[in-house]
Structure 1
Amino acid sequence: MSSNSMQPQQDVPVMEVSMKLLGELESLGFPRARAVWGLHYSGNTNIEDAVFWLIDHENDPHIDQMPLVAINMDIESPQPDDITEAIKIKEQELRDRVRIKNREEEKKLEREREKERIRAGKALQEAKRISEENERQRLVALRKTEKEEEKRAREKVLRKLEADKLERKRALGLPLENQAAKLSQPIAQKEEKKSLIVKSAKKDDRLRECLRSLKLAYKDDNARVRRAFQTLLVYVGNVSKSPDEEKFRKIRLGNPKFQESVGSLKGGIEFLELCGFERSEGNELLVFPRDKVDMQLLNSAGSLLKSAMTNPFFGLLEKVKED
């Protein structure tokens, strides 16, 4: 084994180092244990060799362990030794390497700590989310249960009231309600609704026929037909938007403008009457009674008028079918 290689402590002979060189190495910042190893293995001759040896062996496993054998520190250096600039540079390089290494290790530890903080934060947020979701589901289930209980309680009260009512009637000798009539009531309402729908459909057909007849009667005067449709749309729209305004529910039949645009045209007045206008006594006015305003019918009439004005084939298809 080379004399410059570090050996296990039990094989190392008695280390004799110069007190002066040891002090100089320590003044440069080297720990005493390292200084002893460096001086011993560099020949105990000068500071420069000792520093170079320490730089080359800074990662040796026992470099920081003080030798267990006796050390004679009274010997003198065989030659004077000065701390040269090269030694200072090497020593500074060693210090810089140690500082950089420590800084990198600290940064690495900080990154690991930051990762751990982020992981812990995410875990905490997830736990909080799960807790909130569980609480929300619990409240939803609780509310659902409460509603069901409230519903059952109301039904129970209603049944009790109905039973008490029947019992009182029975005690007073009054006739009991016909349950069959109660059951048939929804059916009757459904039939009535169906009848209203059929009647509404029939009125729509008659409204469409009025407009078709008017358009065919004046097919050579498109401007007059369009003006008639626009006027009818104004009358219908005013009543639909403001049914409580009496002025919109009255039309003077003798008005020249009305006669020119609608009154003198075939189907014009009939269309208004189908919408709900009625002739007053003396045939001077068309009046729309407030209690007879049918919004559904007025909306349907408005849609038919818009279609008649925008659809060039309006009324023609019906004529083809008839032919």
Structure 2
Amino acid sequence: MAGLSLLCGDCGAHLKSVEEAQQHAELTSHSNFSESTEAVLTLVCSTCGKPCRSQTEVDLHKKRTGHEDFIDKTLEEAKPIDLESKPKPETDVDMEAVGEGSSTSQEMVIPEVNKDMLSELEAMGFPTPRATRALHFSGNSTIEGAINWVAEHENDPDIDEMPMVPKSESKPSLTPEEMKLKAQELRERARKKKEEEEKRMEREREKERIRIGKELLEAKRIEEENARKRILELRRLEKEEEKRAREKIRQKLEEDKAERRRKLGLPPEDPTTATPSAPVEEKKPMMLPIKPATKAERMRDCLRSLKQHHKDEDAKVKRAFQTLLTYAGNVAKNPNEEKFRKIRLNNPSFQERVGSLHGGIEFLEICGFEKIENSEFLFLAREKVDLAVLSTAGSELNSAISNPFFGVL
């Protein structure tokens, strides 16, 4: 079967023609070529018509353009390799010139071949015309290739005739030094292209880092703003609670005073002549500490410490937050149910979800739970259930669960 391609024995590349093999040799300095019955792979992009010769070229084309459909035209494009297609005998050239009525004849010359390999072939006993023809048609690459060509064409009638080619085609092959310079130039070009690509990628990475930094700063600003709003709201609620407590105390004092007058048999005091006690209450030099705000900060620090101690276990931390939220919610909804206010510390499920994590038990203690019975249980007494504290705990846990940057900034 006739060869369908030329196979490079150095790198395994399949080439469609002698010209391509010569170009490949000039670029790579490879010189070991042979005929192959395997056709050159031809995959044509159905979108833009670009032909690809390997699956690697197909993958690169897909990545660069996004085109997905390719048509396999390997069998359609496959043609037998014609090793003698480029040079034409002198007689054929003369006939074509006469047939076309050309007034000028193209000058024909002997092709230039490697003189060292020609001398070796002559030393082996090959006539000069046969050796020159063999080197020219085998690509002027190796002694073995020339000998193989002679063996395949020894019955040709013009085997011992000196080949003639047009003068324009008789260009000498690149010398080893020129091949080295050409290869160096290609490597330098590839290096510069790679450096430019690396610089472009570095600029893209720098833009991405700047964008992420801006997003983190914005998220931190939003978190701080929300924290300030929560503290202001807690202080407002504390002030209202303090105001209601003062009013209750004032009413209690009035009731006690009226009761004493009743027991002594005195008439009720006239409200218009009663001395107001409110100004006395307002002269307090100091304000009471804001307990819910203080506990909220302690809760937040406790949850932040828990997440930072287990920063590589996001699922475990989230499950712990949800479990603590369940404990606080059950007590707030059912304060009279003792089963929701008592937790066994050595319970395997509790240990896995909360007890074994840094800060889990401390958070429950801030909510009012205390260790009893030789530290075997956590217990929240009914009279110590503070719905405001439990509500604060729920708010902090919800914020920690829903905020992706909690404990990170």
Q: Using structure 1 for the length normalisation, give the TM-score.
A: 0.41
Higher relative contact order (CA 8 A, sep 6+): 1
The structure richer in helix per residue is 1
